[in-house]
Amino acid sequence: MSDLSYYSAEGLAAAQAELKQMEKVDRPFITKQIADARDKGDLSENAEYHAAKESQGMLEAKISRMKNELSNARILDETNMDTSKALVLSTVKLKNVANGATMTYTLVAPQEANLATGKISVKSPIGAGLLGTVVGDIAEVKVPTGIMKLEVLEISR
């Protein structure tokens, strides 16, 4: 039995679209590449064929993993979530105690993390350190450079 995967409605839709893309577009494209390479003759020395077969294997493994993950997916209901503490899908405004810099992150499931959009995984050091904190708490997060102290300024949805 696999672990449950938690998604926002938006994140689940994006994952389903990615799976559909891989099955309907990427898979046929790689199959065509294999057929084209096969038509070029001797397969034992055909680098294009071997590269396409390797790509096919990696794609099939990714499709399999994603299907398994999506079969165990659950959507988090944001409407009834507690905003008194930091949980998955909370948006947390923080202040780095050492340098005074402020930042805002949304805590998301690992498969939805994207630092460029301010979404960090609850399994990352900072995300894990923030889970369960309340406004006013100072989370001590172990990062590669040592301990980072982050003051929770605000929690919202």
For residue 34, what is the domain's CATH number? 1.10.287.180
Beta pairing, strands 146-156 & 73-75: unpaired
User: Domain check: are 33 and 82 in the same one?
Assistant: no
d(C-alpha 149, C-alpha 42), whole Å: 61
User: Domain check: are 99 and 117 in the same one?
Assistant: yes
User: Domain check: are 132 and 144 in the same one?
Assistant: yes
What are the residues whose beta carbons fall under 8 Å from the beta carbon of 9, sequence distance 6 or more?
Answer: 75
User: Domain check: are 32 and 45 in the same one?
Assistant: yes
d(C-alpha 139, C-alpha 127), whole Å: 10
User: Domain check: are 87 and 150 in the same one?
Assistant: yes
Q: What is the pLDDT of residue 1?
A: 43
Among residues 75, 106, 133, the one where a domain terminates is 75
Q: What is the pLDDT of residue 7?
A: 82
Q: What is the DSSP secondary structure assignment for residue 108, as one 8-state letter?
A: E
What are the residues whose beta carbons fall under 8 Å from the beta carbon of 79, sequence distance 6 or more?
Answer: none
Q: What is the pLDDT of residue 111?
A: 84
User: Domain check: are 94 and 60 in the same one?
Assistant: no
Q: What is the pLDDT of residue 10?
A: 85
User: Domain check: are 86 and 52 in the same one?
Assistant: no
98-134 b/e (C-beta count within 10 Å ≥ 16 → b): eeeeeeebbbbbebbbeeeeebbbbebebbbbbbebe
Domain count for the chain, please give it.
2
Structural domain containing residue 92: 78-156
- β-partners of residue 7 are 75
Helix, strand, or coil (residue 6)? strand
pTM for the model stands at: 0.69
- Low-confidence residues of the chain: pLDDT under 50: 1
Q: What is the pLDDT of residue 75?
A: 85
How many other C-beta atoms can be found within 10 angstroms of the C-beta atom of residue 90? Answer: 25
Q: What is the pLDDT of residue 61?
A: 96
User: Domain check: are 145 and 103 in the same one?
Assistant: yes
Give me the CATH number covering residue 144: 3.10.50.30
Token pair, residue 95, equals 């202040």
